[in-house]
C-alpha cells in the first residue's frame, strides 16, 4: 500500500473543502483534481514547501510546450486559456494552504497568462428565428426540443442549469430560482413563448419522471433524464435543420440572450445579475453591443458626424 505524500493529502483536503464548504460543482472538482495532479506529477513536489517560484516557472514552461493532442500539421500547443485553467487551480490551492497556515508559495505569485479578447460566437436574428421555429411538430420529441430552445433564449441558463430543472417548478409564475455556479441562487424569468412551450410539453408528458427534460426512445417512451451532451447534440441538429452553417451550442444561446437584452436597452449590471456572473468583468465581453449604441449616438449627435 502506497503512503500518500504530504502534498497529495493536502490536495485531497483542498478538493473536499472546495466541494463541501465552497459548494462547487462535481465537474469543477474533477477539473481541479486533474490540473493539480498534472502539476504534482510534473514538478515532483512532495511537500507544500517544495512549491517555489522556480518550480512554478518550470511548470509554466512545460505547459507552454505541450501539444494539444489533436492531429494537426501545425503541431498546436496548449492555448493560453487552457494553460490558465491549470494556474487558476494552483492559485486556489495555494490560497487554501495559506488559510490553513501551511507554509508554501504565496498565491499572489501566480500570474495568469495574457489572452486575447474573447470572441463571441453569435448567430444573426434571422438565424435565431429559424432555430426557434425548427421544432414545430406535435410529437413529444419536438415539444421537448422547443422547450430547450425557448428556455435557453428566454432565461440565459447555462446548460447544466437547464438540465437540473424539474417538473415541480411553478413555471406559471413566470419566474423561478436557479442554483448557479458556486451554489449561488438567482431568479430567472420566462417569456410567454417559453411558458407556452413548457405547458404544451408537460401536457403531452404521461410519465412520472421528475426531470423536466427527458430522453425519448424511438417508440416515444420516456427513458430517464436528459444530460448536457444530449442537449448539445439536439441544438446542433436543430441548427443544421434550420440551415445554420455556424456551430451553435447552448452557450451561443446564452450569448444571444445577453446581447438581445443589451441591444434593447438593458444595462450591463442587470445583465450580469440575470446571467449569474460573479464579476461584471465577465459580462463586459458583451460591450460590443453597447459600443454599437455609442457609435449610433455619436453619429446622431456629434456635429462633425452630421
Longest dimension (CA), the chain: 80
Do residues 166 and 211 lie in contact, with contact meaning Cβ atoms separated by under 8 Å?
yes
Do residues 18 and 35 lie in contact, with contact meaning Cβ atoms separated by under 8 Å?
no
Between the two ends of the chain, the Cα-to-Cα distance in Å is 80
- Tens digits of residue pLDDT in 254-279: 999 988 888 888 888 888 899 988 88
Place of cell 492555448: 79
Mean local confidence (pLDDT), 281-298? 70
Do residues 266 and 284 lie in contact, with contact meaning Cβ atoms separated by under 8 Å?
no
Do residues 32 and 91 lie in contact, with contact meaning Cβ atoms separated by under 8 Å?
no
pLDDT at 277: 87
Residue 224 DSSP SS3: strand
DSSP string, 100-121: TT-----GGG--PPP-PPPPP-
Strands (E), 139-290: 175-179, 185-189, 214-216, 222-225
pLDDT of 293 > 90? The answer is no
pLDDT at 10: 96
**CA-to-CA distance for 162 and 165, rounded, in angstroms?**
6
Q: Which domains does the chain have, with CATH numbers?
A: 6-109 (1.10.150.130), 125-297 (1.10.443.10)
pLDDT of 72 > 50? The answer is no
Burial 254-275 (b: 16+ CB within 10 A, else e): bbbbbbbbbeeebebeebbebb
Mean local confidence (pLDDT), 12-26? 89
Q: Among 33, 266, 234, 79, which Cα is nearest to 156's?
A: 266
Q: Which pTM does this prediction carry?
A: 0.68
Q: Is the dihedral of CA 295, 297, 303, 306 positive or negative?
A: positive
**CA-to-CA distance for 79 and 69, rounded, in angstroms?**
12
Mean local confidence (pLDDT), 4-12? 92
Do residues 166 and 179 lie in contact, with contact meaning Cβ atoms separated by under 8 Å?
no
Q: What residues are annotated to the active site?
A: 158, 181, 251, 254, 277, 286
Do residues 77 and 65 lie in contact, with contact meaning Cβ atoms separated by under 8 Å?
yes
91-95: long-range pairs with CB below 8 Å, 24+: 92/14, 92/18, 92/32, 93/10, 93/11, 93/14, 93/32, 93/36, 94/51
What are the cell numbers at 59? 511548470
Mean local confidence (pLDDT), 170-182? 87
Do residues 104 and 48 lie in contact, with contact meaning Cβ atoms separated by under 8 Å?
yes
pLDDT at 128: 93
Per the prediction, the chain carries an average pLDDT of: 88
Amino acid at each position: 500500500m502506497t503512503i500518500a505524500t504530504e502534498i497529495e493529502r493536502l490536495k485531497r483536503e483542498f478538493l473536499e473543502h472546495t466541494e463541501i464548504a465552497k459548494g462547487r460543482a462535481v465537474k469543477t472538482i474533477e477539473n481541479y483534481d486533474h490540473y493539480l495532479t498534472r502539476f504534482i506529477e510534473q514538478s515532483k513536489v512532495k511537500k507544500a514547501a517544495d512549491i517555489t517560484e522556480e518550480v512554478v516557472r518550470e511548470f509554466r514552461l512545460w505547459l507552454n510546450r505541450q501539444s494539444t493532442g489533436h492531429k494537426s500539421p501545425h503541431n498546436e500547443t496548449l492555448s493560453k486559456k487552457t494553460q490558465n485553467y491549470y494556474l487558476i487551480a494552483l492559485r486556489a490551492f495555494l490560497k487554501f494552504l495559506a488559510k490553513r497556515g501551511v507554509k508554501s508559495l504565496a498565491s499572489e505569485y501566480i500570474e495568469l497568462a495574457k489572452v486575447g479578447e474573447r470572441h463571441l460566437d453569435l448567430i444573426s436574428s434571422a438565424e435565431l428565428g429559424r432555430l426557434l421555429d425548427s421544432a414545430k411538430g406535435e410529437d413529444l420529441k419536438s415539444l421537448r426540443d422547443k422547450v430547450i430552445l425557448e428556455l435557453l433564449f428566454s432565461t440565459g441558463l447555462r446548460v447544466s442549469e437547464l438540465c437540473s430543472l424539474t417538473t415541480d417548478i411553478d413555471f406559471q409564475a413566470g419566474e423561478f430560482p436557479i442554483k448557479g455556479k458556486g451554489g449561488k441562487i438567482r431568479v430567472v424569468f420566462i417569456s410567454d413563448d417559453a411558458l407556452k412551450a413548457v405547458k404544451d410539453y408537460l401536457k403531452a408528458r404521461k410519465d412520472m419522471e421528475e426531470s423536466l427534460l427527458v430522453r425519448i426512445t424511438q417508440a416515444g417512451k420516456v427513458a430517464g433524464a436528459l444530460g448536457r451532451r444530449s442537449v448539445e447534440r439536439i441544438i446542433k441538429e436543430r441548427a443544421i435543420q434550420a440551415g445554420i452553417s455556424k456551430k451553435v451550442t447552448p452557450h451561443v444561446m446564452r450569448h444571444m440572450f445577453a446581447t438581445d437584452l443589451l441591444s434593447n436597452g438593458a444595462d450591463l449590471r442587470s445583465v450580469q445579475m440575470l446571467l449569474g456572473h460573479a464579476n461584471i468583468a465577465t459580462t463586459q465581453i458583451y460591450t460590443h453591443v453597447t459600443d454599437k449604441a455609442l457609435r449610433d449616438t455619436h453619429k446622431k449627435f456629434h456635429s462633425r458626424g452630421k
